[in-house]
Amino acid sequence: MNTPENAAEHVIMIPEHAGEGAGASSVLVDGGAVSLSADDAGEAGVVVDETRPKDATRELPEGAEKLDNGTIRLILSTPVVLRVKTQDGVQDVPYNEVTFHPLTGSQMLDAIGKGNAAKTTQALMVSSLRIVSTRADAIVRNMDARDFFKASKIIQVFTGSGQKTGQ
């Protein structure tokens, strides 16, 4: 049984004729028909259906935090240490956390061109980190499996379906 704690809002648009004294109308929502009357819509012309469970792809994994600028910071359960060679010599650079940024259409197209789902996910993670790609790739490849799974869930947050209102 759904409760307000595990229910998400889905806005269902009532067909135009429903507000003009018409009888019950049916609209398709996620492949299922929902029967609505003009009285259900009221003056606003919409019904908010809170009976459906939350979209799991929109929930952040443990250790992740959405920041005010829209990025998502993930505290790694196992830090990734990269050995980096620069003009100043070789040094170990620890990554205790990583920050993922919302993706662009260009980044999506580039990642989709990588081939299979695993390579696409990897490419999306690397692009979303927005740091030098060789470092980002090394971080992703050396993440603990639990952190990799959490990072893939964050990518799903950025690529999951948005609000049903079109906004």
Question: Could you read off the pLDDT of 143-154 as tens digits, one per residue?
Answer: 999 999 999 999
**In this model, does residue 29 exceed pLDDT 70?**
no
Burial of 16 (0-12, 13-18, 19+ CB in 10 A): exposed
Predicted confidence band at 28 (pLDDT cuts at 50, 70, 90)?
very low
pLDDT at 129: 97
At 107, is the secondary structure helix, strand, or coil? helix
CB 106 within 8 A of CB 39: no
Give the CA-trace dihedral at 35, 37, 40, 43, to 10 degrees: 130
Rounded distance between C-alpha atoms, residue 83 and residue 76, angstroms: 18
**In this model, does residue 24 exceed pLDDT 80?**
no
Question: What is the separation of C-alpha 66 from the centre of its chain, rounded to a whole number of angstroms?
Answer: 11
pLDDT at 113: 83
Quick one: angle between helices 117-129 and 105-112, nearest 10? 150
Angle subtended at Cα 137 by Cα 131 and Cα 138, rounded to the nearest 5 degrees: 105
| Residue that wins the pLDDT comparison between 166 and 79 | 79
| Residue that wins the pLDDT comparison between 77 and 116 | 77
**Rounded mean pLDDT of 93-101?**
97
Q: Which two tokens stand for residue 150?
A: 């959490």
Predicted confidence band at 114 (pLDDT cuts at 50, 70, 90)?
confident
| Residue that wins the pLDDT comparison between 55 and 19 | 55
**In this model, does residue 89 exceed pLDDT 80?**
yes
**Rounded mean pLDDT of 85-103?**
95
Which amino acid is located at 104 in the chain? Answer: T
